[in-house]
Structure 1
Amino acid sequence: MNFKKIEVFGFKSFADRKVIEINEGITGIVGPNGCGKSNVADAVRWVLGEQSAKALRGKSMQDVIFNGTKVRKSMSFAEVSLFFDNTEKLFPTLAFDEVKITRKLFRSGESEYYINDTQCRLMDIQEIIRNTGLGKEGYSIIGQGRVSEIINAKPVDRRAIFEDAAGISTHKKRKKEAQSKLERTETNLQRIESILLELDRQLEPLERQSADARKYLQLRDELRDLEINEFVYGFEHNAELKAQVQKTLDEVAEQLESMRGQYADADKQYNKKTADRNNTDVYISRLRDELTALAVAAESVRGAGNTLSERMSHLTSNRADAEARLVAIEEDIDKKDEEHTYHVTHLNMAKEEQSEVKEEYDEADGEYEELLAKITQGEQEMESRNDELLKAMESIADIKENYGKLTAERDTLLEREDELSAEMTDIKSELKDAEEDRLELEKDVDRLRRQRDRLASSRNEVMFSLREAGEKVEKNRAAMTELQTRISGLESRIKMLAEYSRDYANFRDAVKHLMQAARGDEELSSHIEGLVAEIIKVPKEYETAITTALGGSVQNVVTADEEDAKFLIRYLKNNRLGTVTFLPLTSYKRRDLDPRLAGILRERGCLGEASKLVSFDKRYDNIVSGLLGSTVVFDNTDNAVEAARRSGYNVRIVTLEGDMINTSGAISGGAVNRSAMASVFGHERTLEEYRVAAEKMKKEYDKAVVAYKDAQEEADELQEQLKVFDEDFRNAEVELATASQKLEKASGRCDELSSSLTAKTGARENIRRRIDMINGALDSVDAGKGVPVHDDEAEKERRAGYAKMRERSKELSARLTELRVKLTSLENAIASHSENIERLERESKALSEERTAIRRILSDTEDKIKQTESDIDNAVVSDEDRKRQSEIKEKIASLDEYKAKLDEEIAAVMNFKESLTQSMISANEEKVRQEAKMQKIDEDAEEMRVHISEEYDLDYESAARYRRADFDHEKAAGEIGKLRRAMSKIGPVNLEAIDMYKETQARHDELAAQRDDMRKAQSDILEIIANLSKEMSERFDREFKKINSNFQTIFSEMFGGGTGRLEVDLDSAEDPLEAGIEIYAEPPGKNLRNLSQLSGGEQAFTAICILFAILRLRPMPFCILDEIDAALDESNVDLFARYLKRFSDSTQFIVITHRKPTMEQADMLYGVTMQELGVSDVVSVSLKEAVKHSESK
């Protein structure tokens, strides 16, 4: 027993894994029509390598996979395994006692093959079953269609069955391989002979070229030595220059750093002295306010205006100071304008020069690029000319090589002319059949294409929706990311502000330490009501004004009474924490606006009393009234000054911008840091704003998360839909591709036949044209046409021209480097001038603003002087007030002297800064020059490095090993030029000619030896082919005679007489091994001239006789017969079944049948049923066991 069992899973109607045991003798497979019993034969044929879906009764190979039913899902793959007993070496190449052959197919179209569960190739399976009769061309599986093929097939196609039975398939394959090897050998032999002919022609010119090459190499070595030493010298010299330039750069950088430090120090001095002068002005102003107050007091006592003379003096002095400062500012502005003009002029000059240099650079760069293109084109043209020379040489060699072939071709074409008419008749008939097949296939392809297009349209709609859903996902993800980032930023700010407020970072150290200590000390905390900044809530628009009005009071600590204040003062003293101002609720006095001055609240721009613009707990009314009760808030300075003048400067006024007018008449203001001014009151408000904004963003983030999830769910759902459409689309594509492939083959076949018909119709003309072409080629060889003459002089002139272009390109490269350096220098100069211009404009703007402010003060002072002049009278001043006035005047005079000294020092510092600025400009310009020089050195070094690397593949370290002690840099340039000119005179050089000349003869001898070896191999292969042909012919003749004898006997036995024979049709082919097999059959009582005259049953019976004749000669391991008895009548079926039984001792038969006589001869019956619609099931019955069981009963 060789065939043990079949295992199927997912193959056609076998949805479940089924095992069919194959015993000795005959195994019958029975069942009603459509139950899937023939699928068993298809499964075996499929495992053994069947590649035609049509042979398996399907449209595409995927049709063999279980496609599902109404209650079962389709499967994704089909798998079939065959198990063989190999103890008798059915498969001699495999060393296993049991062999398992498996094939697996997936819906993707991918197939897998296994031998004993080890993956292999289809050809491996085909190799092991060769000469066993199991191949698809053999006779192991025979169905009704196979029976008709044996009878109706062409004689040549029928031969394969008998060759497999005769056991010459392996010999035939070996012969085909030997013939292919012979063709390759003959091709190689022709190629070698052509090469030898070409080598003979090359020897003479190679000798001449080698002499030029040796001279060229000598000059090249000398040039290489000089250029490498020149590179080493230049590299080291550049390194020295670079070190010198770097040293200068370091010195300049050190000078610049020093000057920047001096400038920063001078700037600090300037700021310090300016601040000192401003503070002095403020102090003088306060003294003069006091002097004025004394005068006013004296005036009120005496009722006379002469006390205002001091105020007049004060105003006059202020006016003089303002005028002096105005003159100084005008001088500073003039200097700044001159310096600004200088830098603007030089900036414009630098830009003009930059434009000119850029234009020159672009022009040089264009010429440089054009030269490079010409050089590249020239080199390509030289390569092209060399290629043409080689192609011409190869063309002559090819023509000579093909001389004999062309002659033979001409003779063959002449002979072919006589054969055309007969072939054209056959082609027309075949073309008609092919056209009919093609039309049917076109209909299938059109239907499948429409089906595919409908699926594609639906799939595209889903893809579009999926893309939109994906965009929604990305949009919501981006929104989530942005919101998360903004929330994180707000939380960071909230945390920072909370820590800032908690640590009292904006307060003086003493206040900060006290409040931080109170936070962790309940006793200490019980003595503190809070800071002024904590008990007052200020609207955002008034924060700057209220902060200005409170001044340092904002950091005062409020206590319940004086005892708490004393306790806290002791705590500060004991812990050495500094001083703090305390405001006890029991003692601090309120201060309200005088009702007589309430008219100021109706002035233009008045926003109200400061104490009423803030909110606070009523228990702190005294504190807030005492701090802000007499302060009024105005919208801007102009309205505030006008209102103060009208009120006689008896009310303190503060503006929204932080400017303040005191009751003394002093005005303070200017540019203030609003965020710093408002930070005391704004921290908590900002913190709350941030918290509200963060909460709002978190809600937006939650909405974005929900939207993101919804979009993601939609995208996932669409993705699943797309998968379904993708699978359906792929299946449709596969079906369409399969049908299109068939159509393409059919169309190709039609085109091939049409083309063949057209070609044969005009063959006589084509033959004549081809002969003319052949004669022309042969005439070219005879006339000695060959390689075109190479003009050495023209080539030398071209090379000289390219050398000049390369020299010009080097000059342009150097000029471009210079221009790049100059451009860099100009860019740095432009940047320096632009920076100075911006600085001067900023300083001039500040001076202009100060000049405007002073002019406004002068205007106000003039108005006050005029007013005071009218109020002066001869009031009498008390001695004490007179003494105080005298002291103040002396102090003012002293401060005026100090202020004048400060003005001189400020002017000196300004001059020093201007001097430093000029020095820094000069140093920067020197730095630019040195950097440009450094860049030029680097570019020169890089140019040398690139040249030495590209020419000789060296770097400095490797080039330094070639340094010569006697190298003369001064002479090197001249010697290099001389060598280049000498090399140019030589012209084109084949550097490999020296070795080629030496190697050509050796190669010639080697190829000659190869030619002799190939001739010997050619002879050996011819001998092998002859031996194989002889052995195949003898074996086939011997075995065929036996099969024919068996056929004659069996035919007579099964038909009860008559004659049947097999003959080799030697007239159908020149080679007997390619001749067809003719079948002759005459049942008893009939005289037939053609097999087609037999009835269907007779034809089937004849084919069965041939099968039995083959089995008698060469029993097979197993044979599957698929309803081949269907066309037989009852008597013939019985005869067929009994005859089959006779062969079952040597061959295992698996018979698929409906016929009772056949079933009765079976040793084992398998019933195939469909208890579940669309799914095959298998039930086995052992007839031997059934008979024994029946007899026992």
Structure 2
Amino acid sequence: MRLKSIKLAGFKSFVDPTTVHFPGNMCAVVGPNGCGKSNIIDAVRWVMGESSAKTLRGESMTDVIFNGTTSRQPVSQASIELMFDNTQGKVAGEFAAYNEISVRRVVTRQAQSEYYLNGAKCRRRDITDLFLGTGLGPRSYAIIEQGVVSRLIESKPEELRVFIEEAAGISKYKERRRETESRMRRTTENLERLTDLRDELQRNLSHLDRQARAAEKYAELKAEERTVQSELFAIQWRQLSTSRGEVAGEIGALDVKREAARAEVTHTMSEIESSRTEQSAASDAFNAAQEQFYGIGGEVTRVEQALRFAQERRGELQRDLEQTRSSLEQTRQDLETDRQRLSGWQEELERSEPALTELSASSRLASEALTAADSAVQAWSQNWDGFNERAREPSQTAEVQQSRIAYLEQVLSKLQERLQQQQSEWESLSSTPTDATTSPLAKKIEQASLAMAEREAGLVELKEDLAGSHAAIEQARRQQDDVRSAIQEARGHMASLTALQEAASDDRERASLSDWIETESLHSDGTVYASLEVEAGWEGAIEQVLGEALSAQLLSEVDVRGLPGVEALPSGAFVVDNTIESPAEVLGTLAAHVKGPARVMSWLQAVLVAENLDAAQRLCRDLTAGQSVVTPDGHWLGPGWHRRRSGADTAAGMIARQAQVDSLKEQLDKARAEADQVEKTISELIKSRVELEKQASQVQQAQQAAVNERAEWIAEQRATATKVEQQLQRRNRLKAEIEDTEKQYELEQSHLGEARQLLSASLDQMEADRIERERLQTERASVTEALTQKRDASREASAALMRGELQSQNLQAQVATLKQSISRMETQLRDLESRETELTGTLPIGDDPDAENKARLAELLEQRVAAEAELNSQRARVSDVEGKLRDLDTLRMNQEQAAQEIQSDIERFRLQEAETAVRLETLSEEIAKRDAVPQEIAAALPEEASEAEWQTKVDRAAARINRLGPINLAAIDEHAKASERKQYLDAQNSDLEAALETLRSAIRKIDKETRQRFKDTFDQINTGFAELFPRVFGGGTACLEMTGDDLLDTGVAIFARPPGKKNSTIHLLSGGEKAMTAIALVFSIFQLNPAPFCMLDEVDAPLDDANVGRYARMVREMAEKVQFVFITHNKITMEAADQLMGVTMQEPGVSRLVTVDVEEAAQLAAS
């Protein structure tokens, strides 16, 4: 696997689409500083999933998008695509069959990143998984840029371990271990929840067993109770039927009384209309007299106000004149006082100037003395800083040597422990066992893994289907409960409305008329109100016009004029034929707002419509014979008459109630259909759930068997495949390690002696510095005290000068203020003198200026007395007429109240009759629910059977049921279901425990393999590092060392000694030495697990020419196996490249690429 090309578009300075090809294994990117070379490496790091903007030299992810220049606009997105050659099959998994693999990342201004693998959209994790174990990644050892060298060498042990893990290829194992641990946590949580469910279910089973036995006894007693209850209902039904006939007789008698009361109300209403005409004339005369009286009174008020205003105005002018003269005298006195004060303050200001000059000279002398004292302190401070600088070096040296001694003692202790462990391990190693063949086992393991994956996927899918099935059943049952509630509510509402409709029409008349129609073999189409469709808002008008005709029966196929058997037509009956053709619709009539039988429509065409009473009264003047006009609120007018239906009319609201009844019938039909469909759906869902549970159980059993079989094969394979190789390799390594450890121990002991000598010399110098420090501190006290005294003296002189200046400024401000005050008062004095002259001329002259208004007032008072007498006369007339009208209103109200009481009694009896009918229907339904007929049960009962006796039987049966206590009627089914669920949960518990143990075994095996791989890789890299380091430096030694005992989390430390040096820590190396050490380490990793390519960004920058030559030769050697892309400014490194790619920035802010093949260029130059 190698990198073929990089496609950049809109990324940082590469705004134009640019393709960077890498034809060989030694490609150098060159160019001046700031031209965008490092952006190529940033692009590779970014497309591999880098999520840190700081790592990409930005503050946010959108910073990688080209942001524009002075001549170019910003772009909206950045795109990078890496093209890999996979002909060698380095990438495993589903992409192993592809010869080319493309990885692309796109980011927009909204910071939304998208990833693509071979053109298909994917997740960032898919990109990371693709490169796991290959050595590639956003922060892998394959990409070394500016600053990474020092960070690699100076990284913490746990950070350096990551590079070893990537080289060992165990990063994917760690990822699997994390996933396995996550699964274990979820499995443990599920197991705990399952245990709680099983415990709770076991407790419920005990209760359900007792409840099931009680439910069986309850069923027997309940059947007995139902029989006695049905007989009680039949007795009640028989009594209610008798009571219903008695109530019908009471209603007939009250109807006669109601008609008589209505006639009395009509007579009283005609007398009230006459009285109201008389009241209108009296009110007009009273209003005229009242208007005249109030007009005279208003004129009197106006004249009185004019008199009061003139008097108040004269008093106000006199007060203003007196106040002005007083202010004039006071202003003259204040002006004289301010002139005297101004003269005194000017003299005091002249006397203060000499004293102020003397204070200024004293302050200047004190300031000069303070400056001299401050200079002395500064001189001492410089001496003190110089001393501290000299004394810091011995102290630092002592601290460094103390740390070094502690470190060396720790190193010696670790070396001693390591030597003992190595010797003990060498002695404990036994002979090598024979090798075994693992190929057949590997094939079986692969087959078992495939079977496990397929069954796991099937099991997950089945569990998801089961969860969805449970949720669907619960949802359907809730829907079923809602539909049943809606049906019960609609039935109750419809029964109430039907009873009111029937109460609005006489039941007896309707029954006798139905018998007559049946006797005469006629056909009825129902009532008129049931056949009408009325426009909203016009129901009251229809009820007003049709009245009793709403309850009339529609007869079809017969003409009322030739009606047979008319002599036997019941009293009060109303029939209408429906034989004429439908008349044409006439706009402006009541028929335009109704749809119904043709005969009724012909009646309504003679009734005009008006929006309100005023419009109706205007239309009434132009009506022809037979015409009338009606309003939506029920006012019906004709030539010489006006009628408005009483609110107590039983026909009121019949049309609206009928519409509600029809709507409720439709709702009931829909609800019943919906209830049937929901019941069917629940049954199908339950069948589907049972089948799914059966399938899940079978798949789970097969999965567990496959898991156990695979675990046995894996254990056998690993036990036979690794034992021989591990022990042989370990014995060879231990021998070399023991020799290295002994040499290292001797070297560290010599370093420890040197450090102790340097520490002793530093401590002697520190004692001499302590004596010098005490002398300087004594000197500081004296110069500081002198400075404090001079500072206090300077501060007092400055304060005295400030007080003098402040006093002078106050005097100057007071002089200026007095001058402004004197000027203001002079102006005020002139204004007051002018005001005095104006007021003197305004006051009126004469004895009585209001004589004319007083005479007019006396005349108006006489006129008001006469008008008041006329007003009282008209008020008495109006009072007499209103008294008569009140008497008539009282009589009308009493008559209407009497009629209303009769109507209320009728309504009460009708409601009682409707309630009786509803109760009869309810009792019939209750008996029907018990599969019986009330007439049959009543006939079978004795005549003397009483409701109290049978109620006692019902109570006795109920008491026997109550003695059973609370009964769970579903206990039998629930007990069976709970037992079945208990078995299912027990099986799940066993499966989860087995799965948990499998996961634990998998983690143990992963840990074992990870330890071995890490140890082997560490040893190989350490060996390669020890070999490459002398080649890079021309000598010296280097090694890696683990910082802990646990191979799963131990850190890794670097120890390096260039030739001729005895440094104790890697941090003491120079920048160039650190770079060379990092190169040796990275190349040793590449020797073990070479990444597909390696990118080096100015790694040779800190190296001299000799080391650059070694670096270039090593890169050239490694390029035989690894593809290198390096950025450099060094000519020696450039010479080693096969391909040169120049990055230029001729246009400011925009990078472009120029590619040169070195061999072709050399051939061209030679020719």
TM-score (norm 1): 0.41
TM-score (norm 2): 0.42
